[in-house]
Amino acid sequence: MMTSFHTVQVDDLNIFYREAGNPEKPTMLLFHGFPSASHMFRDLMPRLENDFHLIAPDYPGFGQSSMPNHKDFTYTFAHLAAVMTDFIEKLGLNPFYMYVFDYGAPIGFQIAAAHPEWIQGIVSQNGNVYQEGLGQKWATRQDFWDHPTPEKRAGYRSAFAPETIKGQYLTGTPANSVSPDGYTLDIAYTQNPNYADNQLDLIFDYQNNIKQYPKFQQYLRENQPKLLAIWGRNDPSFIFPGAEAFTKDDSQAIVKSVDSGHFALESHAAEIAQSILEVFG
């Protein structure tokens, strides 16, 4: 088997996605994070394709999908979740397992809360929905959200500077364990002329994800999905207590960690795949 690459029109946007595995197998949707795209799953998909039908889309404004200007497209997580919902329905993918990482968590959990009958199980890899999981950097973001100014907004352009992106990949990982391929491609995507303002809109909107944490936790309490919270435990953005917090609301939550950072798949794809197969295979 092999991974194939597709584009489908959804809501007048071209949505790119990767596909692997047999469509007769259970579907697993893979929701990427910032500042990445579906290429972050390039090492995971071959390890799961014998057991799952895998679909990994790029959100609008990311990767190979349409990247409209922020004046023409509302860059909020609610809007990205709505586009992904339409993507799911267009491809007829439900029910499904979902793998959520970083930005993929608020997108995926909005979909799960709205359509709990679609969700067969959840893998959350550094995909936070708890206050306990917010690292120190979120305090300065709270100040930006509470007291926004053009100067503070401009300051967040550093979030997609090349050295920042490289740091997201390398911080907390074992020496020489991370290929440069992922962060080099992410840095290339930032060169799109629409990229910066689009992403700054999402950084400002992230506050609404945190406000929805109680709703996401209620979804877990009411539905008790089978859930694997597997964390790169050295992630400074979403700290390991965020993984442990799932057990407060979901009696089926299993918590594991790997010796890595935020982009744990870059160094530990084999270990994460093995845990997924043990829990859901």
pLDDT tens for 12-41 read 999 999 999 999 999 999 999 999 999 999
Is residue 79 annotated as part of the catalytic site, yes or no? Answer: no
pLDDT tens digits for 107-153? Answer: 999 999 999 999 999 999 999 999 999 998 898 899 999 999 999 99
Q: What is the pLDDT of residue 281?
A: 81
pLDDT at 1 over 80: no
DSSP state, 157?
A: G
Q: What is the pLDDT of residue 197?
A: 96
Q: Is 230 helix (H, G, I), strand (E, B) or coil?
A: strand
Q: What is the pLDDT of residue 45?
A: 98
Total number of domains in the chain: 1
Check which CATH number belongs to the domain holding 85 and give it.
3.40.50.1820
From its phi and psi, is residue 61 left (phi > 0), alpha (psi between -120 and 50) or beta? Answer: left
Average pLDDT estimate for 256-269: 98
Q: Where are the strands (E) in the chain, listed by range? A: 4-10, 13-20, 27-31, 53-57, 96-100, 119-124, 227-232, 253-258
Average pLDDT estimate for 152-176: 95
- Find out whether 229 and 216 touch, Cβ atoms under 8 Å: no
Average pLDDT estimate for 191-205: 95
Q: Which two tokens stand for residue 117?
A: 């009958």
Range of the domain at 158: 4-280
**Residue-by-residue DSSP string for 1-63:** ---EEEEEEETTEEEEEEEES-TTSPEEEEE--TT--GGGGTTTHHHHTTT-EEEEEPPTTST
User: CA 260: distance to chain centroid?
Assistant: 17
Separation between Cα atoms, residue 96 and residue 27, nearest integer Å: 5
pLDDT tens digits for 209-246? Answer: 999 999 999 999 999 999 999 999 999 999 999 999 99
- Find out whether 91 and 8 touch, Cβ atoms under 8 Å: yes
* Cis omega (within 30 of 0) for bond into 95: yes
State the catalytic residue, choosing from 39, 53, 262, 268: 262
Sequence-separated (6 or more) residues with CB below 8 Å from residue 55 = 17, 18, 19, 27, 28, 29, 30, 91, 93, 96
Q: What is the pLDDT of residue 137?
A: 86
Residue showing tokens 């406000």: 211
- Find out whether 30 and 6 touch, Cβ atoms under 8 Å: no
DSSP state, 251?
A: T
**Largest interatomic CA distance in the chain:** 52
Q: What is the mean pLDDT of the chain?
A: 97
Confidence of residue 161 (pLDDT cuts 50, 70, 90): very high
